[in-house]
Chains A and B, each alone.
Chain A
Amino acid sequence: EAQVTQNPRYLITVTGKKLTVTCSQNMNHEYMSWYRQDPGLGLRQIYYSMNVEVTDKGDVPEGYKVSRKEKRNFPLILESPSPNQTSLYFCASNPGSTTDTQYFGPGTRLTVL
């Protein structure tokens, strides 16, 4: 089954404790992205990757890092989480064409205390 998986689905942590949210897709897609969803703001892109070892900032990259060592995986790293990073996070992938559908993971709800 074609899918994007994220782990963990729920996470409560404390300020400053490094964490990683994993994302994996099994569709051999070139493009992968991370979004955060906040009430009243919709989804905003954090980082994206156009292929292995190619990543770039989206609209709200501050406080986040990513890596793309393999085509299928695109982890999101919070080196020193802060309460303003409490949000719902979605990973997405798509083959590459501008008209192609983006496939979203199920989301990771992160709370930073």
Chain B
Amino acid sequence: GNSVTQMEGPVTLSEEAFLTINCTYTATGYPSLFWYVQYPGEGLQLLLKATKADDKGSNKGFEATYRKETTSFHLEKGSVQVSDSAVYFCALRLIQGAQKLVFGQGTRLTINP
């Protein structure tokens, strides 16, 4: 089946630290890959996306590269800020069928000043 696995949280870092949140996927075919962010009390917002192998998505200092050979889409940021504290979801989107997003379980990130 199709699934997404994210690193276990919660993750707590100090401001200006380097961030990596691991994400691997299993899918039939070649999905599009996404990172969504959920700030406290809000809905999900798209952070970045990649639609084919070796594509790099980037936004707000975050980056992730679609690695087909390792079926991964790890999220990175060089220097995190307190305002990055949120829950991050990795997701894939299938080409056929239900047009649904298949989500990982989410990783809660807390950045301390």
Contact = CB atoms under 8 A, between A and B. Distances in A.
A106 B44 CA distance: 8
A106 B101 contact: no
B45 A104 contact: yes
B103 A44 contact: yes
B43 interface: yes
Interface string B20-63: 00000000000010001000001111100101000000000000
Contacts of B101: 35, 43, 45, 92, 102
A48 B104 CA distance: 19
B17 to A, nearest CB: 25
Nearest to A41: B105
Contacts of A99: 32, 49, 51, 93
Contacts of B93: 98-99, 102
Interface residues of B, number: 22
Contacts of A83: none
A6 to B, nearest CB: 9
A77 interface: no
A96 interface: yes
Contacts of A33: 99-100
Contacts of B104: 42
B43 A48 contact: no
A48 B51 contact: no
A94 B45 contact: no
28 contacts: A33-B99, A33-B100, A35-B101, A42-B89, A42-B103, A42-B105, A42-B106, A43-B103, A45-B100, A58-B98, A58-B100, A59-B100, A90-B44, A96-B99, A98-B94, A98-B95, A99-B32, A99-B49, A99-B93, A101-B46, A102-B46, A102-B93, A104-B44, A104-B45, A105-B43, A106-B43, A107-B42, A107-B43
Interface of B: 4, 32, 36, 42-46, 49, 51, 89, 93-95, 98-101, 103-106
List of 6 A-B pairs having minimum Cβ-Cβ separation, nearest first: A42-B103, A104-B43, A45-B100, A104-B44, A43-B103, A42-B105
